[in-house]
Chain A
Amino acid sequence: MKQLTLDLRADAPPVLENFVAAANADLLAALYEAVPVADVPQHIFLWGDAGSGRSHLLRSIVTAAAQAGRPACYLQAADVGETLPEAPGLLLAIDDVEALGPGAQIALFRAFNGARAQRMTLITSGCAAPLHLHLREDLRTRIGQSLIFEVKALTDTDREAILAAQAATRGLRLEPEIVQYLLRHGRRDLTSLLRTLDALDAASLERKRAITLPLLREVLQRDLSC
């Protein structure tokens, strides 16, 4: 009989502390430095592949700023209308700028223009370097004036470290051969890996079985057939 699981998974809010720095140490340091309100705000733009952790970073910096007592706001570009929040000292994070509509682009353009007077920091992200963004030229160049970082992809060793850390927060013990198998047989972007880890966690609870290679194979097989 299958055990029904109560969805009580430990909530792992995106925070800067649980982002594996790897090749992105500079970027992470710049984000930490953007948390306190600055006299002359240093805007930051992050770009990288889907799944590279841009949204995690943007959400994390908003959380960090709020914890430090600074007004902060995270918005997905697709949800931005013709106005953007404005407040003295606000840290505003806009994700996926390439998805900004025409009105939203003007709103962000205005936010850049007014940022200095309000001591607002703008943290934006996109799928490509500013040179290659398809946005209004006046906005694109303003984004290009930010401190720009590519969110660098993780190596397999980094992925192993993240999997181990994530498994530990779920109270799981992952044997090295499980991690190796996962990296050899599954998709290796972090989103897919964590999704598999969640599925593995759920399967282990439902069936009251330890995490073993056969269970992992079953989970991967089920994923394929879905």
Chain B
Amino acid sequence: MPQCAAFWTHCLSCLEQELPSQQYKTWIVPLRAEEPSGGDGAGLRLVAPSNFHRQWLRDRYLRRIEELGEEYFGAPLAIEVGLAPAGGVRRPSAPPSAAPVSTATQSTAAAPQPAPPMPRPAMPEAPVSAETANYDKSRLNPDFTFDTLVTGRANDLARAAALQVAQNPGVSYNPLFIYGGVGLGKTHLIHALGNYVFKHDPRKVIRYVHAEDYYADVVRAYQQKSFDVFKRYYRSLDVLIIDDIQFFNNKNRTQEEFFHAFNALTEAKKQIIITSDTYPKDVQGLEDRLISRFDWGLTVQIEPPELEMRVAILKKKAEVERIALDDDVAFLIAKNLRSNVRELEGALKKVLAFARFHGKEVTLEVAKEALKDLLNAHNRQLTVEFIQKTVADYYKIKVADMHSKKRTRVIARPRQVAMFLAKDLTPMSLPAIGEAFGGRDHTTVLHACRTIAELRLGDTQLNHDLHVLTQVLRG
């Protein structure tokens, strides 16, 4: 067994290197290695905490562990995967006292809760430099840079303006007002701007703040009677980046505070960057004096990306994940999700996760399969009436024939198909389905279901019909 223990330690360190951290922590760390039940000491027994865990391990990781075993011992290693006894699930990462589960049922319970102690990384923490602390306070996202921004006709002008402002903050255009629809990359652009300024002068005090958070700061200043601190802080910034200004809608005190901060900063030649979902004059509920100030600098728009740009965005995002994305897969995603970049990213994540979970290459077929969850139309509750109508239309018979006593093949078969689909696609009981088909007995429904299930195995036309009808019904 000591040999096995040494192998398992070796195996853990290999897998930790090879697998993404979440996979390693989820599927490998909770395993317990022990001597196999046979008792002859040969091989290794891994104990998984749950049935699902055991199956997942067998499907995805066992082969690799076997390979490592063969490399280590120079001969194939017999690995047995067992299940921990109920209640004996080992969770090595769990501290002695588990964190509280909060299942609030009232809105009052949704108030912020004290954070229980977090699992700490084993590594000693490096001392935080003043620069790092300054960056952390900026609330900028380091992933959003000009390098990771895909440029196209839709954001060309906005990018050029942002870059110019980043090179000369407080000098060229003040404020820089960027507007465009949801999920088009406004936030990415302004973070990129902030990151650029910081990279070239880490002493600059930059702050990214969402308009809602600015409002929350005003409220807090009210509650704690700390307006002086609030004002001092916002007026001390070199670059203020405020996102989604439309959230100031009718928040008068917030607007007033911002108005004064705006004046102070612009007078001191400090840079202000603002984003909104619409053109300044169209932002609802904003005071005119604020709107007129937004016109002082430069206003640029970001438009929805065209197809080619969406493809380029997808390829760039895949590149970050170190995956080469074929053009046809990128086109499939880009064609189906037109309006915004955020959902493009969601779709790409889904395709990559699907391929990873199933151990497949990212091909067009895999992408189509993966995107079903996203692109399926409304998950409407199907009714038996809708199924009857759809099937009747498909086979060009009358809906009334679904209820009739006629037993000719041209009518009986579609009726059976409709019964089959009703059982398959609704949770209705068989007697209820029978009732909906002209008061038939549940055994008739059962017979219909069995007949169709058998026939479709040999009848390609019927199988095709069922496939098409299911697609139509599910939207």
Contacts from A to B (Cβ < 8 Å): 16-17, 21, 25-26, 28-30, 32-39, 42, 47-51, 59, 62-63, 65-76, 79-81, 83-90, 106-107, 109-110, 113-114, 116-117, 127-132, 137-138, 141-142, 144-150, 184-189, 192
Contact = CB atoms under 8 A, between A and B. Distances in A.
Contacts, number: 221
B91 interface: yes
B111 A85 contact: yes
A169 to B, nearest CB: 11
Nearest to B116: A71
Given A75-B110, A110-B210, A141-B182, A69 B98 contact: yes
Interface size range on B against A: 35 or more
B374 A187 contact: no
A109 to B, nearest CB: 7
Interface in B194-247: 210, 212-213, 244, 247
A29 B56 CA distance: 8
Interface of B: 21-23, 25-27, 50-53, 55-56, 91, 93-95, 97-116, 118-119, 139, 141, 181-183, 210, 212-213, 244, 247, 277, 340, 342-343, 345-346, 349-350, 353-354, 357-358, 372-379, 381, 427-432, 442, 446
Contacts of B346: 130, 144-148
B110 to A, nearest CB: 5
A150 B379 contact: yes
Contact of A69 (B53, B95, B112): B95
Contacts of A32: 26-27, 52-53, 56
A37 B139 CA distance: 20
Per DSSP, are chain A's interface residues mostly helix, strand or loop, or mixed? mixed
Those 9 A-B pairs whose CB atoms lie nearest each other, nearest first: A81-B107, A87-B115, A189-B427, A73-B102, A144-B343, A66-B101, A141-B183, A150-B373, A141-B342
A11 to B, nearest CB: 14
Contact of B50 (A16, A36, A110): A16
Given A37-B119, A132-B378, A141-B182, A71 B99 contact: yes
B107 A87 contact: no
A115 B52 CA distance: 29
A188 B26 contact: no
A17 B94 contact: no
Contacts of B432: 187
B373 to A, nearest CB: 4
B385 to A, nearest CB: 17
Given A141-B183, A142-B342, A150-B376, A79 B107 contact: yes
A113 B442 CA distance: 53
A132 B22 CA distance: 30
Contact of B103 (A34, A73, A117, A137): A73
Nearest to B181: A137
B112 A39 contact: no
A151 to B, nearest CB: 9
A89 B427 contact: no
B131 to A, nearest CB: 18
A36 B29 CA distance: 11
Nearest to A81: B107
A83 B114 CA distance: 14
Given A29-B56, A79-B110, A187-B429, A36 B102 contact: no
B119 A110 contact: no
Given A74-B102, A87-B114, A184-B430, A69 B93 contact: yes
A117 B53 CA distance: 30
A130 B343 contact: yes
Contacts of A113: 210, 212-213
